[in-house]
Structure 1
């Protein structure tokens, strides 16, 4: 089982807090969970350069949605019991604490596809009818600020985010405030959109997707405050793949965008549409090696071990192994 041995080595087998499943082993955990997505819905959930088949949903994401439904149900039960305890049995039944799921991983790993699939599946479970999705791209500092601070080449690195704003957003979500708004980001314009936002109104589940959502920092010396975004998560998923595979996926996505979105004169990246194939490929590789790969190696990959579940992808975009943190 070379694949299993590889994952065991990657997560520190022998001392690992994870239990690793090969694809066929994980697929059996679906049991009798019904398929609630139609082929046309799955096609709409797929990312530009990602691969999402009915088989992938059935074997990987249905078991995961079943697991998450169990986690959410247990948390909801605990929340009701705690409310009853704190209110001396006089709860009004209105309180609800959203269950927050973090989805992390490299650029081009398929985080957005995973987040959208989980949102669609979880919204069909009876105890979680309202599932919202927010990406941390909206919490990036505006380009004008990044340019002023000399951070445009560090866009996507931890220092390029408005962390206090993101922490306030998550604090409000966990406090049950309504509605809460998250800034809106446009990949077309490559910037945060001024005066535009996404409304989050007390969902049963909130999925937070982003590069650095599992990032840690140095805790304050006096022990005050909550320094990490992941402190707000009830469950977290990391999308994993080898560096060379991620590089290939990034270049392939860049080349497809060059033939589609980049052709619009209003696109921030319109200039790339005029490049030859060779020039475009060299440009994509340069961006990957100059920005995305260092960010992956320095900031994103080191957070993998903090995830509750790791989806390990093969070169064809399909999940080959799943590592679940032991209770």
Structure 2
């Protein structure tokens, strides 16, 4: 799978030397274990070699953003308003976006103690299963048409405009649905991280892109065969943890024939997730400011920084 040409690529060893005076002293192994997504892999070396330089790069973008906000306000003869800095994180299902998002939230909160750093996932903007069923889209869950993009765009517009107490709907992977009356409260953050497979996708009938609201964006990348392996490994862990909870979506598969369940998961990967990756997610990779490329065991072996 050829990487885009409009990036400067750095090996892990090269990337680790950038802004080397940054030292890791704010994250523990226990904290990493708590924020790691199911079946993901991350350690303190990853933090020091990949994420500490990334944190500094984000700080560069943040300074530039704030200066631009101030300069535009000065040009118009107005007082600068508080506008949050938005970070988008995209990539395939099971590639490790959630771990990256939560780790960045932790690192940025520790580095900028006077900043409020919040995180949401766009899963909450999926149509509820009942609505997907009504529209005949249940088997297309995760594809662009399964999201309420107008609501997501309105949400981002309200947050970017500095509104207080904006509700972001929640999604539960345990029940495999949007949580009725469940939401996260986004209240004028200094930095908002938005994680989801669709955050860099082009619109279908809207004039705005979701990515129009982002001030920095990351694509977490890996070969599809590796992602498939991670997806199936994660499914096995879900089966192992769901058999005691009848309310868990995976309970029906956990108590049934395991080989049949794994065959079903493999079919879902091929017919849904891989198709979605190839048709709608991967084509957005070259729109990201940064690419984190993974190899075996979720090891980040290369970082791509957009040239222009």
TM superposition score normalised by structure 1? 0.90
Work out whether residues 163 and 188 of structure 2, in 8 Å CA contact, stay in contact via their aligned partners in 1.
Answer: yes
Per-residue deviation at 1:227? 2.5
SS of the residue corresponding to residue 199 of structure 1 reads strand
CA 267–231 in structure 1, closer or farther in 2 if over 3 Å, else same = same
The equivalent residue for 2:264 is: 283
Q: Does 1:69 align with 2:68?
A: no
Where do 1:100-249 residues align within 5 Å?
A: 100-126=86-112, 129-217=115-203, 226-249=207-230
CA contact 2:238–2:250 (8 Å) conserved in 1: no
State the alpha-carbon separation in 1 of the partners of residues 207 and 103 from structure 2. 30
Runs of 5+ unmatched residues, structure 2: none
Moved segments of 4+, more than 4 Å: none
Q: Is the partner of 2:182 in helix, strand or coil?
A: strand
Aligned partner of residue 168 in structure 2, secondary structure: strand
CA drift at 1:300: 0.5
Please state if 1:24 is matched with 2:13.
yes
Match of 1:301 among 268, 277, 282: 282
**1:56 to 2:46 alignment:** yes
The 8 Å contact of residues 141 and 192 in structure 1, kept in 2 or not, is answered as yes
How many Å apart are 1:261 and its aligned residue?
Answer: 3.1
Q: Name the CA distance, whole Å, in 1 between partners of 2:60 and 2:189.
A: 17
Q: Which moved more, 1:262-271 or 1:65-74?
A: 262-271
| Superposition RMSD in Å | 1.6
Give SS of 1:320's match.
strand
SS in 2 for 1:57: helix
Match of 1:322 in 2: 303
Please name the residue that 2:72 is paired with: 82
Contact 1:73 1:127 in 2 (8 A): no
Question: Aligned pairs, how many?
Answer: 307
| Cα distance, 1:154 vs structure 2 | 0.5
Distance 2:150 2:163 in 1: 17
* Paired residue secondary structure (2:267): helix
- 1:103 and 1:213 in contact (8 A); partners too: yes
> Match of 1:10, SS?
coil
Q: How far did residue 275 of structure 1 move?
A: 3.0
Shift of 1:276: 3.5
Q: Given that residues 6 and 286 in structure 2 are in contact (C-alpha distance below 8 angstroms), is that contact kept between their aligned partners in structure 1?
A: no
Q: Tell me by how many angstroms 1:84 deviates.
A: 2.7
Aligned to 1:301, the other structure's residue is in SS state: helix
**Post-superposition offset of 1:250:** 0.3
- Distance, in Å, in 2 between the alignment partners of 1:273 and 1:10 is 38
The reply on whether 1:47 has 2:37 as its aligned counterpart is yes
Cα contact 1:181–1:197 (8 A) shared by 2: yes
Match in the other structure for 1:34: 23
**Structure 1 residue ranges without an equivalent (≥5):** 1-5
